[in-house]
């Protein structure tokens, strides 16, 4: 069997914008140069890839030498900041082709930046982006609600959630409220 069989692709975690916005803690799993970098989400799981579906409301091309695109993707709880540069040419061209507003599905890596004045920003480096429909957006809200609740139910029992407790002092009830509010915006 090929060595690829032992390689497990990192799953794309489902996370609402308001939770991702609170993310501050990042670590490298291993000492190797190629070891993956994870963030710990406040609901208590490590993630180096996320999947979000929302509305692309804005898109901007930036840079002269190194062209890259920024965009804003909105879900029922807030905004994801996405970016695609020339290191992800496929993703950049996909994003270039999409005219906002549009429902989009984004697979990408969460990245933490600290601005000169000390604020921490979270952006999503796009691996792929595609236009989807409203049904897919609604399915994503249900999916993300379910997985967030699953994480909150296990909160305090896993290694990652203990770390989240230490770093963020997460209050699970606050996140249940966020999930509830997100769900109530889905129309029947």
Partner 1 sequence: MSLSEVTERISRKLEAKGAQPDRQKIESRLHRLVEEFGVNIAEAERTVTGDLAREYNLTGVGSNSTELRPISEIVPGEWVTIEGKIVALTPSLSPSIAQTGIVADSSGAMRFVTWTRANAPAMEYGRWYRIESAVVDEYKGAPNLKIHSGTTISRMEKDVPLLPSITPITELKSGVGSVRAKVIQDWEVSHDRMLQTGLLGDESGTIKFVIWKEDGAGTSRGTDPAAPEEPLGKEKLDLDTVYNIFYATVDEYNGRLSLALNTAMYISDEGDIEVGRNETEIQGALVHVAPGSGLIKRCPVEGCNRTLSRQNYCPVHEIQPNFRYDLRLKAVLDDGIRARNILMQREIVEGLVGISLDEAIGIAESNPIGMDEIFYRIRNTVLGRYYTCAGSEFGGRLLVDSCTPVTFQPEELAALLNRAGGEPA
Are 160 and 166 contacting, i.e. CB atoms less than 8 angstroms apart?
no
Nearer to partner 1, 74 or 139 (CB): 139
Question: What is the smallest separation between the CB atom of 91 and partner 1, expressed in angstroms?
Answer: 11
Question: What is the smallest separation between the CB atom of 134 and partner 1, expressed in angstroms?
Answer: 9
Q: In whole angstroms, what is the distance from residue 105 CA to residue 73 CA?
A: 9
Nearer to partner 1, 7 or 116 (CB): 7
Nearer to partner 1, 72 or 120 (CB): 72
Q: In whole angstroms, what is the distance from residue 22 CA to residue 122 CA?
A: 8
CA angle 78, 29, 3 (to 5 degrees): 110
Question: Rule CB under 8 A: which residues touch partner 1?
Answer: 1, 4-5, 8-14, 51, 53, 104-107, 127-132, 135-136, 138-140, 142-143, 145-147, 149, 173, 176-177, 179-180, 183-184, 186, 188
Question: What is the smallest separation between the CB atom of 63 and partner 1, expressed in angstroms?
Answer: 25
Question: What is the smallest separation between the CB atom of 164 and partner 1, expressed in angstroms?
Answer: 17
Burial 28-54 (b: 16+ CB within 10 A, else e): eeeeeeeeeebbbbbbbbbbbbbbbbb
Nearer to partner 1, 11 or 100 (CB): 11
Bridge partner residues of 108 (DSSP): 50, 126
């Amino acid at each position: 069997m090929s060595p690829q069989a032992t390689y497990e692709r990192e799953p794309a975690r489902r996370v609402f914008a308001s939770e991702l916005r609170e993310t501050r803690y990042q670590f490298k799993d291993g000492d190797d140069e190629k070891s993956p970098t994870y963030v710990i989400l406040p609901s208590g799981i490590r993630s180096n890839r996320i999947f979000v579906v929302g509305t692309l409301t804005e898109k901007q091309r930036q840079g002269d030498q190194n062209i890259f695109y920024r965009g804003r993707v909105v879900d029922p709880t807030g905004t994801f900041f996405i970016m695609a540069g020339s290191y992800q040419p496929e993703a950049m061209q996909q994003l270039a082709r999409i005219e906002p507003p549009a429902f989009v599905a984004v697979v990408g890596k969460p990245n933490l930046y600290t601005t000169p004045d000390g604020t921490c920003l979270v952006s999503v480096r796009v691996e792929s982006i595609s236009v989807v429909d409203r049904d897919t957006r609604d399915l994503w809200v249900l999916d993300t609600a379910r997985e967030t609740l699953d994480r909150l139910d296990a909160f305090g029992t896993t290694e990652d959630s203990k770390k989240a407790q230490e770093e963020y002092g997460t209050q699970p009830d606050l996140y249940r409220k966020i999930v509830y509010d997100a769900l109530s915006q889905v129309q029947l």
